[in-house]
Structure 1
Amino acid sequence: MSAPVSSRFRIVPRDAAVRRRCTSLLLALAWVASVGAAWWAASYTAAPRLAHADGARARAEHDIKAVQAELDNLRQRESTLSRSDQISRAANAEVQEALAERDEEIAALRADIAFFERLVGSTSQRKGLTVHVAEFAAEAGGTWRYQIMLTQTMNRGAISQGQMRFAVEGVREGKLAAVQWDELHQQRSAPGQTYSFRYFQQLDGNVMLPAGFTPQRVKVTLHGDDAAVEQALDWKTATAAGGK
């Protein structure tokens, strides 16, 4: 006898299939309901917190803007104060420099006044046109800087005018020699130095002594409309005064 043939179809009672579909539908509806309930619960509980968070964020952004504005203002003030301090320091330095210059001018004027008082005071001896002092100081390059002070107190109302020249006398190659005005200035027919004063005047300039020359004295010559003066001064004394 042959074996029975198996069928791919199953016979399911109708009531069981209906119950299975109903169960699946109920489970789906329950899942949807649970999801909806969870969403509602989350919305109900999170919405106030979200609104609070939005408000806090807005306040934080406002505070950040305020702090940034204050920081920018402080930086601007710092820059302004720094610039003002630089200007104040520069102005103070200029004032101090000007005060130092004025102090030097006042000291020089006081020295001139003291000299003038000694020169024309009631107890001073009146003199005609003369060389009050001659000073020589060596400079770089071999030149000599001179300052010669001329005075006259004999005629206090008159103005002395003329030209000053001088020669330097000394020894060259073992012999007495004199370096004249033209050679001292290394110029042929060098003009004399003009003077014009009532009581005193200082003349200054530069001259060049020749190599191998040993100076011993200075002979100053003054030629004016009303006077001609020739006066010799010791070189050591002149250079000692000029190097003070």
Structure 2
Amino acid sequence: MSAVKGSKQYRLEVVPYRPWLRWSRRLLALLIAALAVYAAHWYGTSEALKYQAQALGERDQFEQALSESRAEAEALRQEVANLKLGSQVDKAASEDVRNEVIRLKAEIAELQEDITFYRGLMMPSADKQGLTIGSLNVISTGEERRFNYKLVIQQLATNHKMLSGHVNFTIVGRQGGLPMSLALKDVSDAVSTTDIRLGFRYFQNIEGELVLPVGFEPMRIEIVAKARGSNGATVEKKFGWLVEES
């Protein structure tokens, strides 16, 4: 065969015609590809299972740690509750003890006051004999402008005789900015006259409840006691307005 001038010439090679070899190669290539896919799938699956197992293990550890933390928190909450309860009990007990001590101190003070009172009645000093204005207590009732009062008039003497006379109880203050005085009979249903009758050998209590008018501002209480007879005397005493808690 003559060559065409100017064209590139290729070398020709004659090979045997073997169609089964070609299909074998294709089948082998497919088999290798399948094996590669299977290997990749197996590897991915095994790795996924491994990571899943690791994740499940970590989850179990976290759940266990969470459970332990919850149990510990619950124990701490219970401990705090117990401490609070104990503190409240201790506080209540301390408060009870404190109140009992205050009550006992008040009782002791009252007993000492009574002892002093009776000692003064039975054994007065030379310069403290005759009609005497003793103690005055104004005690809150818990209601606004309503109070309990107790006035003690006494006779200090070595030889007590019946004493008679009267006492005036006056509350001095201001009403609407102006000075104002109220007799006890004006504010207390327990008294009906300005001159409160006295008749006693040792002492006499004048007590009851008083209600101040609205707008009245008390400042002090003035007491004037007069005894009749051969030992007649007049004594006066002023008390600041001091209210005691009941």
Asked if the contact 2:166/2:196 (under 8 Å) is kept, the reply is yes
Structure 1 unaligned runs (5+)?
1-13, 170-182, 209-214
Q: Distance in 2 between matches of 1:221 and 1:207?
A: 28
Per-residue CA deviations over 1:183-241 (Å, capped at 9, x if unaligned) read 65139982797999885454345699xxxxxx99824469xxxx99964213xxx01xx
Q: CA deviation at 1:106?
A: 1.0
| Structure 1 partner of 2:95 | 93
Q: Distance in 2 between matches of 1:149 and 1:117?
A: 15
Q: TM-score, normalised by structure 1?
A: 0.53
Asked if the contact 1:164/1:195 (under 8 Å) is kept, the reply is yes
Per-residue CA deviations over 1:91-112 (Å, capped at 9, x if unaligned) read 4234323322321221221122
Q: Which of the residues 60, 63, 76 maps onto 1:61? A: 63
**Is structure 2 residue 219 aligned with structure 1 residue 218?**
no
Asked if the contact 1:134/1:233 (under 8 Å) is kept, the reply is no
Asked if the contact 1:131/1:148 (under 8 Å) is kept, the reply is no
Q: TM-score, normalised by structure 2?
A: 0.52
Q: Distance in 2 between matches of 1:199 and 1:49?
A: 104
Asked if the contact 1:184/1:207 (under 8 Å) is kept, the reply is no
| Structure 2 partner of 1:10 | none
Secondary structure of the residue that 2:186 maps to in structure 1? Answer: coil
Q: Distance in 1 between matches of 2:72 and 2:222?
A: 80
Asked if the contact 2:133/2:154 (under 8 Å) is kept, the reply is yes
Q: Distance in 1 between matches of 2:35 and 2:91?
A: 81
Secondary structure of the residue that 1:185 maps to in structure 2? Answer: helix
Q: Which of the residues 116, 121, 125 maps onto 1:114? A: 116
Structure 2 unaligned runs (5+)?
1-15, 139-143, 171-182, 213-220
Per-residue CA deviations over 1:28-82 (Å, capped at 9, x if unaligned) read 2111112223444556677667545534432332232122111112112213322
Q: 1:221/1:184 Cα in 2 relative to 1: closer, same or farther (>3 Å)? A: farther
Q: 1:196/1:33 Cα in 2 relative to 1: closer, same or farther (>3 Å)? A: farther
Q: For the aligned residues, what is the CA RMSD?
A: 5.4
